[in-house]
Amino acid sequence: MASGGYTYIQMQKLVRLAVRRGHGEDARYVDDLVPYFVNDAYLELDRKLRWTRCTYTLTLAQSDNEYDIPSSVREYLAVLLTDEDGNVKRLEALSLDEWIDRRAQRDAESEPNFYIQHGDRFYLYPTPDTSGETVTIYVVGEPPALSDDSDKPGFPVHLHQLIVTMALAHIDRHLGNVELATQQEAYVEMKIGREVKDAAMKRGGSGRVKTFGP
């Protein structure tokens, strides 16, 4: 959770004020939708910034090579296996075709060296021959939607205004002001293009996603 910056309710108020100034009586058509427009803009920016980072830990079971991964996982950054002696090694990703070919050639149980992500499933190869080892997956995650009035975006506070701008772009497009919406979207994309080069963006943050594990 960021310190400073806009809360969920503050962003809604800013959006409503701008819509009333810009659209007059037409503002009534979108007033009830403002919380959804703000949330959509927030989630869109978090995805573009690849900001929310978290870890998922799995405890392996002998003869089990398939595990569930929450749909909130958007991108794998690294996958590490830790054995019962504390030794750590990095697992390499396989394509779907590579995984299918390897399983067809040989599927003897052993310590895994490879993995594949397929939908919300995580597969290991070879199939584990022991229980108790752990796999830690470092990921870019999907943050949960803002819900409480006091909720804040996890990414840096100087970017919170972009949520308001993007929400207004979505509303302008919804109300038929396509030209203004396009200008606002272009402005947000320009700002994001600059920000993603910043070290803080590459580092990312835990956002509002909890670590998952057994």
Please give the CATH topology (third level) of the domain spanning 53-141: mini-chromosome maintenance (MCM) complex, domain 2 (2.60.320)
Rounded Cα distance between 214 and 194, Å, is 39
Q: pLDDT digit string (tens) for 75-120? A: 899 999 999 899 999 999 999 999 988 888 877 899 999 999 998 8
pTM here is: 0.80
Find the DSSP H helices in 24-157: 34-49, 96-105
Whether the pLDDT of residue 1 is over 50: the answer is: no
List Cβ neighbours of 146 (8 Å cut-off, separation of 6 or more): 8, 38, 39, 42, 152, 153
pLDDT on residue 105: 81
Report the chain's mean pLDDT, rounded to a whole number. 89
Whether the pLDDT of residue 3 is over 80: the answer is: no
Q: pLDDT digit string (tens) for 31-64? A: 999 999 999 999 999 999 888 888 889 999 999 9
Other CB atoms within a 10 A radius of the CB of residue 172 amount to 23
Domain with CATH 2.60.320 in the chain: 53-141
pLDDT on residue 2: 46
pLDDT on residue 39: 96
Rounded Cα distance between 150 and 23, Å, is 27
When mean pLDDT is compared across 1-10, 29-38, 171-180, the lowest value belongs to: 1-10
User: In the β-sheet with 88-90, what is the strand arrangement from edge to edge?
Assistant: 53-59, 134-141, 73-82, 88-90
157 within 8 A of 93, measured Cβ to Cβ: no
pLDDT on residue 166: 97
Q: pLDDT digit string (tens) for 177-208? A: 999 999 999 999 999 988 877 766 666 776 55
Long-range contact pairs involving 112-116 (C-beta distance under 8 Å, separation at least 24): 112/60, 112/65, 112/81, 113/89, 115/79, 115/91
Rounded Cα distance between 39 and 33, Å, is 10
pLDDT on residue 203: 65
Rounded Cα distance between 155 and 200, Å, is 9
What are the respective helix, strand and coil percentages of the chain, to the nearest 5? Answer: 45, 20, 35
Q: pLDDT digit string (tens) for 127-159? A: 999 999 999 999 998 888 999 999 999 888 999
Other CB atoms within a 10 A radius of the CB of residue 101 amount to 11
